[in-house]
Amino acid sequence: MFRILSPPLPTTTFPADATPPPSYEELNKGVETYAILYATASKEVALENKASKNGYLTTAIVKALSGEAADEKGRVTLSGLTSYVQDTVPQLTNGRQRPFTLVEGFKAERLIVAIPIK
């Protein structure tokens, strides 16, 4: 189970005339939500990739947060993350594993969980 929090953006140095990017707090203003991502639905088995020694849910989350689930603005939203995970895990496991997600809250689909650095 993962709990997604809104961490501060990494500290970066900007030229004096540049405007720093908004913080997660500014980007997510008015959003109140939580998400639970389960590796599988009830009574199913979570599989592990023997080469990476990670579960397929972890693999999908890392790829999603690294930018594979980014929207047109380069942001990974909660809805983008959960959609990516629910599509990718079954693909990686030939349909043998299906993750289960629970998302609740106000404007949950708008929550920005990552802005991958390129």
pLDDT, tens digit, 9 for 90 and up, residues 62-85: 999 999 999 998 889 999 999 999
CA 63, 69, 72 angle in degrees (round to 5)? 145
Rounded Cα distance, 91 and 3, in Å: 24
Residue 47 domain boundaries: 27-114
CATH code for position 104: 3.30.70.1470
Whether 25 and 47 have beta carbons less than 8 Å apart is answered as no
Residue 68 is predicted with a pLDDT of 94
Does the residue 1 lie in any domain?
no
- Does some domain include residue 18? no
What's the pLDDT tens digit per position in 14-68? 556 666 667 767 777 877 888 889 999 888 899 998 888 999 999 999 999 999 9
- Which residue do the tokens 């939580």 mark? 34
Domain contains 8? no
Residue 16 lies in a domain: no
Tokens 């629910």 belong to: 86
Q: How far apart are CA 48 and CA 37, in angstroms?
A: 16
CA atoms within 13 A on the CB side of 49: 13
Within-domain flag for 3: no
Q: Tell me, what's the pLDDT at 17? A: 65
* 9 domain residue, yes or no: no
Tell whether the model's pLDDT for residue 99 goes beyond 60: yes
Query: What's the domain count of the chain?
Result: 1
